[in-house]
Amino acid sequence: MKILFLEDRPSRQIQFLPHGEKDVEKLSALEGVFMPKSKDCRDIIGQINQASYIFDTQTELIIVHKSSLITEGLQYLSEFCEQNEVKLICFSGGISQLIYTNEGFEFMNMNSVDFYSERLIPFIERFVAGESETLLELASDNFKLSYLLTARQLIGSIELEQDGDAKFNLQEKLNAISKVLNLEFEVKRENLERINSEVKKIIIQA
Amino acid sequence: MSKALLIFSDNIALQLAIDFADKLGNTYQFQIGNQELLNPNFTIDGKINSILESSIEAIEYSCIFIPFSLSKNNYVEFTGLRLACHIRLTPRFKNMSTPIVFYGYESAFEVNKLSSLGSILFSKGIYTTDRISIEDFRKQIAFVQENQLQVDTNSFTNIFIERLHIKPAGNYATHHSITNEWAIYRWAKALQLETENTQKIETSIGSNLYYKYLKCKYPITEVIDANSQIILNSGSILYIDDELDKGWDAIFKKICLNKTYNSIGSDFKGMTSEKVVSSTINEINRINPDVVILDYRLHDDDFENTNPQEISGYKILNEIKKINEGMQVIVLSATNKIWNLMELQKAGADGFILKESPELSVDSNYSKNTIANIYRTINDALAKKYLKEIYTDCEKFILTIDKMHYASDFLEALKNQLQLSYYLLSKAESKEQFAFAYVSLYMIIEIINKQFIEDIDEECYWDEVSKSYTFKAIERLTEWNKISFLYFKKWKGNDNRFIRNVHFQIQKRNGFIHNDVDILDRQSNNGNYLNHNIYKPEGYLNLFNSIKVLLSLLSNADTPHR
Amino acid sequence: MARNKYDFIKEILESKKISPAQRERVLLLTKEEVKKDGALGKELEERVKKLEEKIKTESSSTAKNILQHNPQYISKYLSSKFRENNPLKWTTHVWDEKKYELIDTFITELNADKDYSEIFRYNRDLYNLINYFIYQPKIELDQNNIPKFGWPNLHDMKFGWQYPNSLIIDWCKANFDNKETDIKYPFQYELPEELRPKKPIKGKMISTFENVVDVFKTEIQFRDNYLYRELKKRTNAINDYKFIGIDDFKNLDFYTYAPGFLKAIDTILSEVKRNETEKVIQFSHKICGDELIIEITHLSSYPTRVLNTSNLSQFLGGGMNAIAGNTFSLCDFSVVTKFNTSQNKKQNGELMITYEGSEGEVKGNEVNVISQLKLIDCDNEPNGFTYKFKFYL
């Protein structure tokens, strides 16, 4: 299964998904999604917390309710994700702001209400079909904007930076963003005007 | 001139920070380490709060530079804005009115469109710049100093709060909802209760931005002097809550000062929902409190259930009322859903205490008034503690009646009347209602009389000569006559005082039924109204004691082969 | 004659290039020889005895500066200690609440593991690095009470688990030990201002202990794209030359003392710049069983210097010695090329510079290879001058 989806409180799904039970049924029926129920779900979470769960080798994304994990469990998950290039989403009612990192593997923490949005099912469908690029798609339709703004920030920083290693790191990051954005032009200082223009275009439509 | 402060993070040129530290002031590198991120309890607010509390030197800076974004990989988190909000709302950091300069290439309009915290950009003391270099920052500091606002911190904060819009994190009734902690904080403050628990509250949610915002927006102005508030009625109280340690125990302990007070629930966390209910009932049977203060949701599963009858608090309420309907149960809850409250009322809840949620704190006196109400509610519940004993006795007598061998319709009538009179008593609020409960109880005498007395021609009277009750011929009998005949002649009773009491009790009933003010308003030599207790529980209790004796005699006189 | 003989013997005995075993042999032969010289021989014998004593005293102190080449030990030490479940692993991995309840328990376990002391015989820099990061090296303070010395490759890094003194341990006692709520882990420790390096280290400002740990991890292991990026950084700075095969170094993970290998790369890149006619450098690697072989080939470039087959050590110039010294006990180092031998012949061969049994001598910050080199024939026609490094996984 491509996606392991661990929700230990199914009523939450019914309450917050746009079409309630219908959406839950749709999710459960999606090929490539393993969403165990009730006791099975709790058992798996228990095993993760004991660092003993054996993941399906085809897993590419794990989604889990963060409050059900203890530190050992979250570390076990993150080690698995890093070693196997698996993405991880943790959602919880206690998360007041989305945090996204991509150091070794993509890891996103988001609030339950934001997670169970109208974007969830389309995102999962795209992911299963191999059409998803980044977890940030789940957070916003304008995820590319985040990359453009980061690129702009990096371009300014590269100009100011004098430390060789630091400058090299920033440039590497900019190169990586350029690849992801896949624009008609290269993301670099010389094209700052075009970058600004792309940014403005997206923000106006936001 | 005081130093400036530069906050920077991974995507910012380190040379900027090095030069800033060299020439303009202090710097702080914002970073979220792996160790932090892999802690399930990590929150961005906790992180920022910890930075302001202990990582950055807490001095008054001339100016604070913050980039719009502090994130490595996701610019639109705009964590810089969140940090600035915290600075504005954290008194301990001493920079609530310090000018803040956001640096980045976005305009305030753009950021406001993209972030829910964008409103801060339009509040006083906030600047933005897209010129990022040491020289530009130096000029910016000079500019900011020239345009420094001369406003005291309090006024500044009030202006800021008016402008800022902070929404609570999307959540639902879980342990993450801050209503619980907000209520503890407010009530602890109103009670002037500073404990390790309130410190813990500050630690657990004190870092939450929304909580900080609420504290500034709704300061407590009126406190309650818990020492001058007393619960007058005596009795024992049991408080049941799985979050005792968060501060609830300390609050109720203070309110229930000088009462017999117990609390349970700190070991609920590891239990199943069923175990929570069963262990609670065991404790209730053991402690036998007069009043139970019962938290509605005692288990994680309760946040799962939409059916009120599946909630652990509801189940416990049900069980308590099965054990003893007279045991008073006050339900403590954050729910404002009317259907939940109605179900609880139907199940027999005797009172409610609603936890104070932030929206209710608009009224600065709300906390104080709510606590005063809590005192009243508990006091009222204790005032009804007699119901517990009466119920116990009623139940005992019903069992006794079931074993009797008299005519079944007679026994049925006795039981029904007993239960009816208890029901009326339990519901009585006004004096008339108490009187009707009394009258209903009196009916038991009539039922007994009707069963055993057909026609007798003697009446009982007090003989001054012999100083005893005796009988003489009479044409019409009163109910007292009948019962006294049964008492003396049939059941061989010999307590004159008892039967005289019964006489007065029946008279009281007659006075009420016939609205005879001569009887009702009869006074003793020192001016006390002798019969006004018909309007109070006291009247019922006295009559009930008499009924108990009569029923006992009835039972004693019962023979198996009837 | 005796004088000349004595001088000659003295020269041999004092030569640093002969091993202790060879020195013994010379002494034995000398004794045999001088017996034949009669009275003069007696005087000679006395002088040689004094020389012998002098050398014996010197060699007991120079033994401390002799290193044994043992890359297998280093590799095994690093990969097992920092990956498998033992205390050293937790010096570089995030903690969970079950790992240790008290910091003292952890430190006691760390200090009980003294295996690192063995590394002193193999690679001094790595030994010092581990000593500074994990254990309790001697502290010398300057006039501002700041430690004078830091990590071997990164002198501004003056911090470790127990260095200087017990700063992080004391902090853990207040913030970690027995805490249930609001627990803070060692990695979250913020370094005091005076101990933070003023300049970035490897492109990062160091402010927390996690930053320190992250740097340490890059000192003992190449991971993900680290080696690739370091190669890229270096080669990007060299114009006019073409570098091929670097992309294959992405996601190449192995344990070693990274600065040592990177210094060797630096030396190689400055060596290749001497040949301005051939400008293509090829990087490649392959894994054979538990060996990782990295080769850097200056294509179509061959040595002009003659290889003295009876004294191979003469081939070791400053650059070559530096490469061998920097990678001593990290990997076997050899050069594969078409040599011009002293017999005026071309020989395709692999000159083994460090291999099993090799010895080095520490002189200041450098390590000189003092053992014999070995030349073996190779079957394939070399396509240039190849620097070959064999790491043990």
Q: Are residues C238 and C256 in the same domain?
A: yes
Peptide bond into C137 cis (omega under 30): no
pLDDT at B173: 44
Chain B residues touching chain C at CB-CB below 8 Å: 14, 17-18, 29, 31, 33-36, 38-39, 55, 200, 203-204
Task: Pick the closest to residue A48 from A9, A88, A14, A11 (CA basis).
Answer: A88
Rounded CA separation B125/B105 (Å): 19
B508: CB partners within 8 A, 6+ apart:
B438, B519, B520, B531, B534, B539
3-state secondary structure of C286: strand
C331: CB partners within 8 A, 6+ apart:
C71, C256, C261, C294, C354, C389, C390, C391, C392
pLDDT at B181: 76
β-pairing, A3-6 with B328-333?
unpaired
Q: How many domains does chain C have?
A: 3
Best of B20, B34, B49, B76 to disrupt the A interface (most A CBs within 10 Å) is: B76
The H or E element spanning position C354 is strand C346-354
Instruction: Specify whether the CB–CB gap between C358 and C65 falls below 8 A.
Output: no
For the stretch A48-97, pLDDT in tens is 999 999 999 999 999 999 988 888 899 999 999 998 999 999 998 878 88
Question: DSSP labels for B445-458?
Answer: HHHHHHHH-S---E
Partner residue facing A101 (CB), from B73, B106, B209: B73
A166–B13: do the CB atoms touch at under 8 Å? yes
DSSP letter at B523 equals B
Residues of chain A with Cβ-Cβ distance to B176 below 8 Å are 67, 92-94
According to CATH, the topology of domain B179-384 is Rossmann fold (3.40.50)
Rounded CA separation B100/B61 (Å): 10
A63 CA to chain C: closest CA distance, Å? 21
C286 CA to chain A: closest CA distance, Å? 21
β-pairing, A33-34 with A3-6?
parallel
Average pLDDT on C318-343 reads 91
Paired with B260 in beta bridges are: B236
Best of A49, A72, A107, A158 to disrupt the C interface (most C CBs within 10 Å) is: A72
pLDDT confidence bin for C80, thresholds 50/70/90: very high
Task: Pick the closest to residue A95 from B44, B203, B114 (CA basis).
Answer: B44
Give the nearest chain A residue to B208 (CA atoms): A96
B363 CA to chain C: closest CA distance, Å? 33
Rounded CA separation A90/A107 (Å): 8
Instruction: Specify whether the CB–CB gap between B24 and B62 falls below 8 A.
Output: no
Q: Report C:63-122 residues touching A (Cβ under 8 A).
A: 94, 96-98
Taking CB atoms and an 8 Å cut-off, how many pairs form between chains B and C? 33
Classify A5 in phi/psi space as left (phi over 0), alpha (psi -120 to 50) or beta.
beta
B35–C199: do the CB atoms touch at under 8 Å? no
Q: Are residues C74 and C153 in the same domain?
A: yes
Instruction: Specify whether the CB–CB gap between C163 and C139 falls below 8 A.
Output: yes
Task: Pick the closest to residue A50 from A67, A77, A73, A74 (CA basis).
Answer: A73
pLDDT at C27: 67
pLDDT at B310: 87
Best of C90, C98, C233 to disrupt the A interface (most A CBs within 10 Å) is: C233
CA angle C295, C297, C299 (to 5 degrees): 155
Q: Are residues C186 and C241 in the same domain?
A: no
Instruction: Specify whether the CB–CB gap between B187 and B367 falls below 8 A.
Output: yes
Average pLDDT, chain A: 90
In one-letter notation, the amino acid at residue B418 is: L
- Quote helix, strand, coil % in chain B, to nearest 5: 55, 10, 35
Rounded CA separation C59/A16 (Å): 79
Instruction: Specify whether the CB–CB gap between B335 and B344 falls below 8 A.
Output: no
Greater confidence (C260 vs C144) lies with C260
Task: Pick the closest to residue B56 from B25, B79, B33 (CA basis).
Answer: B25
DSSP E strands, B369-475: 458-463, 468-473
- Which token pair is C34? 């001088």
Partner residue facing C98 (CB), from A72, A163, A167: A72
Rounded CA separation B396/B415 (Å): 11
pLDDT at C107: 96
Q: Are residues C234 and C86 in the same domain?
A: no
C138: CB partners within 8 A, 6+ apart:
none
Distances (CA, A) of B228 to B255, B258, C205: 11, 13, 58
Looking up tokens 């403050």 gives B189
> What residues does each domain of chain B span?
4-163, 179-384, 388-556
Looking up tokens 């430690």 gives C147
Q: Are residues C165 and C267 in the same domain?
A: no
Task: Pick the closest to residue C281 from C263, C257, C297, C301 (CA basis).
Answer: C297
Give the nearest chain A residue to B35 (CA atoms): A75
DSSP E strands, B398-538: 458-463, 468-473
CATH of the domain at C231: 3.30.565.10
A57 in C contact zone (CB under 8 Å):
no
Rounded CA separation B271/B411 (Å): 45
A119 CA to chain B: closest CA distance, Å? 16
pLDDT at C1: 47
| Whether residue C3 has pLDDT greater than 70 | no
Residues of chain B with Cβ-Cβ distance to C91 below 8 Å are none
B202 CA to chain A: closest CA distance, Å? 16
CA angle C141, C144, C146 (to 5 degrees): 45
Binding partners of C (≥3 Cβ pairs within 8 A)? A, B
Instruction: Specify whether the CB–CB gap between B332 and B353 falls below 8 A.
Output: yes
Rounded CA separation C299/C384 (Å): 4
A71–C224: do the CB atoms touch at under 8 Å? no
Domain stops at, among C220, C246, C269: C220
- Note down pLDDT in tens along chain B; length 562 residues: 689 999 999 999 999 999 999 999 999 999 999 899 988 888 899 999 999 998 998 899 999 999 999 999 999 999 999 999 999 999 889 999 999 999 999 999 999 999 999 999 999 899 999 999 999 999 999 999 888 777 777 788 888 888 888 877 765 445 556 777 788 888 887 888 776 666 766 766 788 898 888 888 887 666 666 566 778 888 999 999 988 877 888 889 989 988 899 999 988 877 888 899 999 999 999 999 999 999 998 987 787 667 888 899 999 999 999 999 999 999 998 877 788 888 899 999 999 998 888 778 877 778 888 888 899 999 999 999 999 999 999 999 999 999 999 999 999 999 999 999 999 999 999 999 999 999 999 999 999 999 988 766 777 888 888 888 888 877 677 888 889 989 998 899 999 999 999 999 999 999 999 988 888 888 888 888 888 999 999 999 999 999 999 999 999 998 776 4
Domain stops at, among C32, C65, C98: C65
Q: Are residues C250 and C375 in the same domain?
A: yes
Q: Are residues C95 and C162 in the same domain?
A: yes
CA angle A22, A27, A28 (to 5 degrees): 100
Backbone phi and psi for residue B162, each to the nearest 5 degrees, phi listed first = -60, -35
- Which token pair is B547? 């009924």
B59: CB partners within 8 A, 6+ apart:
B2, B3, B94
For the stretch B196-231, pLDDT in tens is 666 766 766 788 898 888 888 887 666 666 566 778
For the stretch B511-559, pLDDT in tens is 999 988 888 888 888 888 888 999 999 999 999 999 999 999 999 998 7
Distances (CA, A) of A24 to A4, A5, A64: 15, 12, 16
Residue C348 CB: number of other CB atoms within 10 A?
14
Question: DSSP labels for C82-146?
Answer: TTSSSGGGGGTS---TTT-S-HHHHHHHHHH--GGGGGGGT-HHHHHHHHHHHS-----B-TTS-
Binding partners of B (≥3 Cβ pairs within 8 A)? A, C
pLDDT confidence bin for C2, thresholds 50/70/90: very low
Residues of chain A with Cβ-Cβ distance to B74 below 8 Å are 98-100, 136, 139, 146
Rounded CA separation B178/A93 (Å): 11
Could you tell me the residue range of the domain that residue C80 belongs to? 69-220
C240: CB partners within 8 A, 6+ apart:
C279
Looking up tokens 């120079």 gives C62
Residue ranges of the alpha helices (H) in B228-269?
A: 248-255
Write down the pTM of the prediction: 0.79
Residues of chain C with Cβ-Cβ distance to A70 below 8 Å are 96-97
Backbone phi and psi for residue B64, each to the nearest 5 degrees, phi listed first = -120, 125
C313: CB partners within 8 A, 6+ apart:
C17, C369, C372, C373
Task: Pick the closest to residue B293 from B311, B270, B317, B315 (CA basis).
Answer: B317
B18–C207: do the CB atoms touch at under 8 Å? no
Q: What b/e sequence results for A43-66 when a residue is b if at least 16 CB atoms lie within 10 Å of its CB, and e otherwise?
A: ebbeebbeeebebeeebbbbbbbb
DSSP letter at C293 equals E
Which CATH number applies to B4-163? 3.40.50.2300
Q: On the CB side of B61, how many CA atoms lie within 13 Å of its CA? A: 26
Q: Are residues C296 and C173 in the same domain?
A: no
